[in-house]
Structure 1
Amino acid sequence: MSDFISQIAAVAGIDTLMEASYRGVPFDVVATRDTLARDTVNYAYPYHDGATVEDQGLKAINFRLSTILFGLDWKQQLNALITAFKTGGPGELIHPIYNSIPRAQFLEAGIEKRAEEMDAVTVELVFVESGEVQALFEAASADRASESITSTGNSLLDGAASAFSTAMRDIRELENGVERINTIVAQGEYVLDGVREQIQGATASVSNLLDTPAALVSDLKSLLSTFSDSLTLTGSGVKSDWQQVTRLAQTTVALPQQYVASRSIVTISKPYRLPLSRVTAIRSSDTQLVTRTAQLVTVSELTAVAATIFANETTTPSLTSTQTEAITNNVRSAIADALSACRTALLTDISEARSRGLTADTRTLSTTITQLQALAYTLQKQAAALIQQRPPLVTREVTRRANLHLVAFDWYADASRAEELLRLNPQLANPNDLRPGMTLYAYSR
């Protein structure tokens, strides 16, 4: 048989065959051809040479494998592969070069049988990588996830500041623009003052929102970051820290509407001669603009804080899997609210432009929506990786009267893991008096 294999290898022009497998079914590879490509959109304009090319990300990676099945049992080998291919959904592909590709979607198999090869058949396989972010040579780490969230969050803030400034400029040009500008500035200052009151030791902002509207984003982000930086975000205080962060975020988003409820409506002819707290009317769209801007800033801060907590958890565990999931859900809920507000604003812009026979410029809001989705996806992946790196959670029964230290020694031969058991079982009334028959949550190993 070795002579036969050598002959086949010689005909193919190779010295050795490369091992691979799909869904655990092994096969030998003669050659590979992998294709990487990026999605792009070209914007070409009449009477202008060339085009603007917009990069829209990496396409799914395409893997082509030339395989050979040989030996007296080649039909059994082929049937095993066909059975694996008939299974729906992506599966693990062990690639001869890139090793494990966890989510490879099978596309097609070309089976070729030649008369001169009595006990062999060649198969041309095509797979495509399934998933948005599947690295060929390395897996995403907590540090990389935090860096990605920081980068996306900064871009989100830049877009929010630009959108707020543009909206203010457009409003100023309207017939009653000055009056509305005063209203928006007053709401923005009310938000900053309200957040500042919640934070001890925060310095006063010196920005003039009337002259530099974008300062609302930078000043609000600075205040929220000042508060977050004062927290440890690790150890036993993580749950308390997170509750404070989420409470401040909820308060911040509610402040524009509180301003509306707290102000009386008066009639004025010269807006700048009256205090900013006295306005003729408060438009719903203006309040939504301030609220939407506050939502984007708080989402950026919440995601950054959650990513920091998860990064700390990799070295100093202090949360259960349920608590990790709860933090993720808190952030995703805030992102969902921001997405809803942005989509509503997008539809409003399209409707208003259409009523005037124009086409709305939706690029900024569309980019913001994409960035919010990216933040939610990256944080969810980071949380999932954190949960999966720990052993499975099981329930175990206490077999004798003891305290947590004795139970930890009985189960793991390590009394120091009593703190871990206490973290997994916060419902325990007295950790020093455990009775036989009690069930506790514990890691399987």
Structure 2
Amino acid sequence: MAWKDTLLPASFRGAPFEVLRTRDHGEKAVALHEYPYRDGGEVEDLARKARRISITAVFWGPGYEQALEKLIKALGERGAGELVHPVFGPLKAQAVSWDIPHEGERPDYAEVALEFVEAGADTPFFARTWPMVGAKADTARAGTLGVLEHAVANSKNPGALVRSGLRSLAGLQAQLSGQLLSGYDILSSPAAWAADAASLVRGLADLRSFGAGSLLPDFNGLLASLTAAILLPSFSGSGGGSGGTGTGGVFWTAPGTDEAATPPVQGAELDTAAAHVLAEAAVGLAEAAQTVLEAEAQTPTLSPVEIETVAGNSRELIQTSIDTYRAVYPVEQAHAATEPLKDVALAVQQSAAAVIAARPPLVAHTVAARSCPRLLAHRLYGDHTRALEIQRLNALRDPNFLTPGQELTVYAK
């Protein structure tokens, strides 16, 4: 497949930009050993030097200044960051220089010459296997934060907004006691409040080991904790598109509460806070799903159905978040949050498909004689350790005894 079919959205530290051209320069470090009275010399290969990457980024249109400012801020931060190369994928890179010319005959337009140097271990060209959920998650967080800041700036009821911000984080804080937070409220510093929400979601994920063995219980535990902690949407009336007016038909209730006993707090002020926390939970769950899928590619422990369940649960929560933004905000305002959330959902789906496609096809096998999974694995593959794989694929109630004529699903040789 040509690279034109697999181009990635370029970004640096989560700041996206369009690309006109790239140039990647590689060079070997060598030591030349020459000797008197002897023609030629010996060349010692000292490995590859750090790659140098030149990118011409382009910004245009009425809103180009904001996008350009975001990139300049990312370039000015100290240390290396994640660069998503449109062809070769993500790598750790250090920004070296950038040149931003403007021409009088081309208003609202700038071509930015960027220079990066690789800052880390070798990342081979075209070694990209996984869609970058991490990079897309950063872009999604930036998009949802922009929507949040706009809603706060145009708030019609600041007091209700502060109360809703506290209420929206209460469930997460109850699940994760002792977490250090900034203490800022959503009105005085929406960015710090959003960072607190992200920190609480990451804290819930960190409670799971995601260690050796099957990671499915850890993922399911995180899903249960998030859905128990976040405020879930409950749509009444026509709802949707209140856009900060406080007149929409959307209200929020905590899971397991009695709506009749707990009067809903209505209006976009509460929707603003709860919608953002829901998005943070959805993105955090997507990152956990990617962890599970990457581990699954290295050491298979799940059946294809279980892999599909991990991706499906993650995508379902993202879809709930997308639906919520569409109900709460006008289309043009919600678009900044929903589009990057769609990219995160697609990356999870593609990762799950890649894990399943990397395995041999499933075939039906009829047991010919009394056996057990370990003996059958030895007969089929010459590897008795694949017995657990046969048990997972078939959910055997009594794995010690396989009877003649029993139909099993196994991987092809």
Assess same fold via TM > 0.5.
yes
Return the structure number with greater helix share: 1
**How far apart, in 2, do the equivalents of 1:52 and 1:406 lie?**
70
Which amino acid counterpart does residue 320 of structure 1 have in structure 2?
S
Give deviations 1:224-256, integer Å, cap 9, x for gaps: 111212323355442211111212232243264
SS in 1 for 2:183: coil
Distance apart, 1:307 and its partner CA: 0.9
SS in 1 for 2:188: coil
Match of 1:411?
380
Match of 2:173?
196
**Residue 165 of structure 2 contacts residue 274 of structure 2 at CA under 8 Å; is this kept in 1?**
no
**How far apart, in 2, do the equivalents of 1:232 and 1:282 lie?**
37
**How far apart, in 2, do the equivalents of 1:416 and 1:154 lie?**
40
Q: Of residues 206, 214, 221 in structure 1, which corresponds to 2:191?
A: 214
Instruction: Identify if the C-alpha distance between structure 1 residues 395 and 403 changes in structure 2 by more than 3 Å, giving closer, same or farther.
Output: same
Distance apart, 1:139 and its partner CA: 6.3
Which amino acid counterpart does residue 50 of structure 1 have in structure 2?
R
Distance apart, 1:39 and its partner CA: 12
Distance apart, 1:431 and its partner CA: 0.9
Match of 1:390?
359
**How far apart, in 2, do the equivalents of 1:214 and 1:263 lie?**
33
Match of 1:317?
300
Between 1:309-318 and 1:190-199, the stretch displaced more is 190-199
**Residue 171 of structure 2 contacts residue 230 of structure 2 at CA under 8 Å; is this kept in 1?**
no
**Residue 165 of structure 2 contacts residue 270 of structure 2 at CA under 8 Å; is this kept in 1?**
no
Gaps in structure 2 of 5+ consecutive residues: 1-19, 23-55, 64-103, 112-124, 233-251
**How far apart, in 2, do the equivalents of 1:162 and 1:152 lie?**
15
Instruction: Identify if the C-alpha distance between structure 1 residues 42 and 395 changes in structure 2 by more than 3 Å, giving closer, same or farther.
Output: same
Match of 2:181?
205
Instruction: Identify if the C-alpha distance between structure 1 residues 369 and 40 changes in structure 2 by more than 3 Å, giving closer, same or farther.
Output: farther
SS in 1 for 2:409: strand
Match of 1:93?
none
SS in 2 for 1:442: strand
Q: Computing the radius of gyration over CA atoms, which structure comes out larger, 1 or 2?
A: 1
Equivalent residue pairs, number: 286
Q: Of residues 345, 363, 373 in structure 2, which corresponds to 1:376?
A: 345
Instruction: Identify if the C-alpha distance between structure 1 residues 225 and 437 changes in structure 2 by more than 3 Å, giving closer, same or farther.
Output: same
**Residue 58 of structure 2 contacts residue 109 of structure 2 at CA under 8 Å; is this kept in 1?**
yes
Instruction: Identify if the C-alpha distance between structure 1 residues 208 and 422 changes in structure 2 by more than 3 Å, giving closer, same or farther.
Output: same
**How far apart, in 2, do the equivalents of 1:376 and 1:252 lie?**
22
Q: Of residues 141, 149, 157 in structure 1, which corresponds to 2:133?
A: 149
Distance apart, 1:54 and its partner CA: 8.6
Gaps in structure 1 of 5+ consecutive residues: 1-34, 56-136, 266-280, 351-361
Distance apart, 1:260 and its partner CA: 10
**How far apart, in 1, do the equivalents of 2:200 and 2:260 lie?**
23
**How far apart, in 2, do the equivalents of 1:329 and 1:139 lie?**
26
**How far apart, in 2, do the equivalents of 1:195 and 1:262 lie?**
23
Instruction: Identify if the C-alpha distance between structure 1 residues 54 and 282 changes in structure 2 by more than 3 Å, giving closer, same or farther.
Output: farther
Match of 2:163?
186
**How far apart, in 1, do the equivalents of 2:351 and 2:174 lie?**
33
Instruction: Identify if the C-alpha distance between structure 1 residues 54 and 294 changes in structure 2 by more than 3 Å, giving closer, same or farther.
Output: farther
**Residue 339 of structure 1 contacts residue 369 of structure 1 at CA under 8 Å; is this kept in 2?**
yes
Alignment partner of 1:302 is 2:285: yes
Instruction: Identify if the C-alpha distance between structure 1 residues 316 and 365 changes in structure 2 by more than 3 Å, giving closer, same or farther.
Output: same
**How far apart, in 1, do the equivalents of 2:160 and 2:346 lie?**
36
Percent of aligned positions with the same letter in both sequences?
A: 22
Which amino acid counterpart does residue 441 of structure 1 have in structure 2?
T
Match of 1:402?
371
**How far apart, in 2, do the equivalents of 1:196 and 1:233 lie?**
22
Match of 1:138?
126
Distance apart, 1:165 and its partner CA: 2.9
**How far apart, in 2, do the equivalents of 1:221 and 1:260 lie?**
28
Alignment partner of 1:247 is 2:224: yes
**How far apart, in 2, do the equivalents of 1:208 and 1:260 lie?**
30
SS in 1 for 2:397: coil
SS in 1 for 2:168: helix
Q: Of residues 32, 43, 49 in structure 1, which corresponds to 2:61?
A: 43
**How far apart, in 2, do the equivalents of 1:400 and 1:235 lie?**
34
**Residue 257 of structure 1 contacts residue 287 of structure 1 at CA under 8 Å; is this kept in 2?**
no
Give deviations 1:274-312, integer Å, cap 9, x for gaps: xxxxxxx93332232222111210121011111111111
**Residue 140 of structure 2 contacts residue 344 of structure 2 at CA under 8 Å; is this kept in 1?**
no
* Structure-2-length-normalised TM-score: 0.61
- State how 1:107-186 maps to structure 2 within 5 Å: 138=126, 140-142=128-130, 145=131, 148-171=132-155, 174=156, 177=157, 181-186=158-163
**How far apart, in 2, do the equivalents of 1:51 and 1:260 lie?**
57
**How far apart, in 2, do the equivalents of 1:340 and 1:254 lie?**
14
Give deviations 1:94-149, integer Å, cap 9, x for gaps: xxxxxxxxxxxxxxxxxxxxxxxxxxxxxxxxxxxxxxxxxxx736413xx2xx21
**Residue 196 of structure 1 contacts residue 204 of structure 1 at CA under 8 Å; is this kept in 2?**
no
Q: Of residues 383, 405, 408 in structure 2, which corresponds to 1:440?
A: 408
**Residue 234 of structure 1 contacts residue 313 of structure 1 at CA under 8 Å; is this kept in 2?**
no
Distance apart, 1:204 and its partner CA: 4.5
Give deviations 1:375-416, integer Å, cap 9, x for gaps: 122222111111111000112122222221111112112111
